[in-house]
Every structure is written in C-alpha cells, then in structure tokens.
A and B are shown apart, each in its own frame.
Chain A
Amino acid sequence: MSETPTNETKAARAVRRMGVVIVDPFPVVRAGLASTIGGSPGLEVLAQASSADEAIVVVANVRRSRVVVLVAMGLAGDKDSYWLIRSLRERFPGHAILGLGANADPHVVSRALFVGADGFVDKNIELDEFLAAIRSAGNEEMVIAGPAAASVGQIAEGIERRRSVGLRLTKREREVLSVAAEGLTAREIAERLGVRERTVTTHLARIYGKLGVGNRLAALRLAARSGLVSIGPTE
C-alpha cells in the first residue's frame, strides 16, 4: 500500500520533467550536451539525432507534454538546420524549438526565428544561463541567450526584410524563383512548370522589378538572404 503512491509520484515527476531532444552533427558535442542537460534537475534528454531526417523520426516518437528540441545551426546539405526548424514547426506545433549556434550573427538568428524557432541559444554562454534558457523555452517563453541578445533590433530588422520580400512575391513567382535557383535556363524552367518560355521570362522580369534588382543572380542572392529560396538543389 505504501509502495503505490511512491511509484505514482515518481511517474508523475517523470512526466513533469521537461524532455529535451538534441540535434547536432557532432557526436562529441551531442555527448557533452546530453551529459550536461541530463545531469540537471527537471530536465531529461529523451533522444539525440545527428541529421535532420533522423531528428524528424526521433521527435515523432517522443511522448512527453513539454518538449524542447535543440537544433544546432550546423546541419548542412539539402536538409539543413532551417529546413529542420521549419519542418518541426509544421509537424509539432506544441514543441519548443531552440536554435543553437556559436557566436551566431543576427542574420542567422533572424532566419532561424523566421522559419519557426522559439528562441536562440548561443554555445558561448555560461552553463547555468544555458540551462535556464532551455527551461524558459520549455515553459513557452521566448529566449535569446548569449551574444545575439545584444542584437535584438537587428534581428527584428532581418525578420522584417524576410517578411517584406516574402509578401512582395506571389506564389507563382516564388515557384519560378525557386526553380531558377537550381540554375536552369528560362526554357528549362518553363518545361519544369509546364508553361511557355515567354511566361517564365515575364515572371522573372516582374520578380526583378519587385525586388529592385537587375538580373537573376542579384534576385537569387536577395531571395536566398531572405530565406525564400535555397541556392543549390531544392529543399
């Protein structure tokens, strides 16, 4: 009889603990983060992943009401950290997503927030601050911890730039632009989208006008900076 309540309390405590998922390409970093986070009260490391694909799978298997996913900004390739943050935001709207960087510039932070991160933590901070940031994120608070906290205004401006570029282009224009980012010619873009070449050049001209640029490279650079397209293969 005396056993049961204790077990229940234990179980209840485990559920109350905040669950953390670590996504970082480097095994040594993951191990360090896991032992740091796991050793602190109220936090429990539920899973780790080294790539975006793996992260999606492990997060889907997590059963916990309060989950913080730490996403290192260093994921490379088609499915980079921004892709992962965007995908996690869409699929798991209830989880907190924290970008994790090292001396990240405002550009990186604003892009991470724009694609869906709930905050950003820099590795270049004191341990207790780091853990406090994770706890705040788990309690649905927005956090910017580390050097980036000094650039809140610039980060907001970066978000505004992304937003305004995004708002200026129609859905079709974005499509044209993202195919153009693969380096295709107007004719190839037309084939891909099933339209006439003439339509594509009209779209491109209108895009240049809206973005205030003179050529495709400048348009792509601006769109990439705004997080609208990825230069290289499609996401």
Chain B
Amino acid sequence: MAGRSHAHLSVGLSGSLARMTVVHAVVAAAHPVVRSVIELACQEADVTVTAKVETALATIAACRARTPDLLVLDLELPDSDGFKVLGDLGDEDRPESILVLSDRADGDLVLRALRLGVRGYVTKAEGLRGLSTTIRRVLSGERVIAPGLEQDAVLALGRFARRAREGAEVAADLTSREQQVLELLSEGQTMRQIATRLSISPRTVETHVAKLYRKLGVRTRVQAVSRAATLGLVEL
C-alpha cells in the first residue's frame, strides 16, 4: 500500500501518467528463495515490487488492493493452486501482464494458463535464469512460453478441440430427459431415487439409462459418468 500511495502523493494530478512509466508488480511464491529471485529479476527489469505474498488468498487480496501491472505467480502455492487465483480474479483486478512459474512442464497446464489470460509460462527449473529478460518481454506484450512447452500446448489444444466436438455431438443426440437422468446419475443417485425425483417409473429410468449408455458408448454407470465428465456433459 505504501509504495502506491507514495507514487500518488508525489505526482499529484498526473498520477495516471506516472502509472504508465512506473511498473508495479505483485510477487507470489511459496518459497522465500524463489520470491527473492523473482524480486531481484523485477529490480533488474525496472519493476517496482509492491507486495510479496506466499499464499493464494494473499495474492488475490494483493491484486485487488494494489491493481498491479504485473503479477509474477508461482502456480504451486501452499493453500491452493495458482489456477484458482487466476480464476478468482475478476476482470478489473486482473493485472494486464501475468507471468507464471511452475514445477510442471505440462501442455495441458500451459493451455489452461493461456486461457486464463496468462502471457508467460516458464518452469522453475529452467526459467529462473534469465527471468528479468522474460519479465521485460512479457511487459512489452510478448507471449513467452518455455521452449518445447509451446508445442505441448498446441497438442493439448488438439485434444481439447476433439473432446469439445465429441461432447457437442453426443449432447446434440441426447433428449432433455436423458440429460436430466445423466445429471442425476452423476450425482450418485440410484435408479429408484431418479424415478422418484422425476416422477416416472423405475422401468422408464432403466430405458433412459440404456439409451444413455448406447449414446455414450459405455457399459457401466461408472464409465457413463466418467465419459460424460470427460466430454463436459456433466460436472463432477
């Protein structure tokens, strides 16, 4: 808070202009050494660190209170996943530039980060060296993804597209009654409970379930629910 109000006091009315030249950052990482490395890199890149935090909760609070230009976020936070931070930040709290650090070199995670508006994704093993350059590039609007992970994210996109297509195809084939039965199945309800809930006979429920299995290409209830979840038809 101190850094921000100081900037406002010293520049007075032209505060918004000052915000354009002074870049503020929130640094979120669990490990003190990682935090120090990030802070040093920020200094090298002429970025003012206004808050250093170590939990997801504190990260969200810091972004809301300080509206930084840059968030450098360790995805592996102790209280919850860094993705939760990204998902919980509203549009007005979301820093324009977000750079994430992760232990995990995984295309699905990179794709997920990119969907949440992240501009940079580097691994802690490789990315800490040269971090100040990465910060500069991210601030200039460039997308910086660890080499190799870029293609992994594209492969993840391919899988995502295929699942989305299959999900939409199956969904288009389901009647609204079957959709209801599927949702109740995935909540773990028995055939009898479903029958009561929908005020239909257990026999009718069985018929719906048999049709569902056929349309999903499965043989058991567990398979049906897991297939439906994979295709995005139900949420578990």
Contact = CB atoms under 8 A, between A and B. Distances in A.
Contact-residue size bin, chain B (C-beta under 8 Å from the other chain): 20 to 34
Contacts of B150: 149
Nearest to A86: B165
Most A-side CB within 10 Å, residue of B150, B155, B171, B233: B171
A153 B233 CA distance: 22
A163 B168 contact: yes
A170 B175 contact: yes
B236 interface: no
Nearest to A149: B154
Given A114-B161, A159-B161, A152 B111 contact: yes
A162 B158 contact: no
Interface string B153-173: 111011111001101100111
Interface stretch (A26-34, A65-73, A140-148): A140-148
Interface string A137-171: 00001111000011011011101101100110011
B124 interface: no
Given A113-B161, A152-B114, A162 B168 contact: yes
Contacts of A174: 172
Contacts of B40: none
Interface in B162-209: 164-165, 167-168, 171-176, 179
B164 A142 contact: no
B178 to A, nearest CB: 10
A24 interface: no
Interface secondary structure of A, over-half rule? helix
A152 B158 CA distance: 10
Given A118-B158, A141-B155, A160-B115, A171 B174 contact: yes
B154 A156 contact: no
Nearest to A163: B164
B160 A156 contact: yes
Nearest to B167: A163
A101 interface: no
Contacts of B173: 171
B232 A156 contact: no
A115 interface: yes
Contact-residue size bin, chain A (C-beta under 8 Å from the other chain): 20 to 34
B175 A113 contact: no
Contacts of A118: 158
B29 to A, nearest CB: 23
Contact of A156 (B111, B174, B175): B111
A116 interface: yes
A19 interface: no
A162 B163 CA distance: 12
Given A153-B114, A166-B171, A170-B175, A160 B164 contact: yes
Given A141-B155, A149-B154, A171 B161 contact: no
Nearest to A164: B232
A156 B116 CA distance: 10
Interface in A108-145: 110, 113-116, 118-119, 141-144
Interface of B: 111, 113-118, 143, 150, 153-155, 157-161, 164-165, 167-168, 171-176, 179, 232-233
11 contacts: A114-B165, A114-B168, A115-B165, A116-B165, A142-B154, A142-B155, A144-B154, A149-B150, A153-B118, A155-B157, A162-B168
Given A163-B232, A170-B176, 11 more contacts: A113-B161, A114-B161, A114-B168, A119-B158, A141-B155, A149-B150, A152-B111, A152-B157, A153-B113, A163-B164, A167-B167
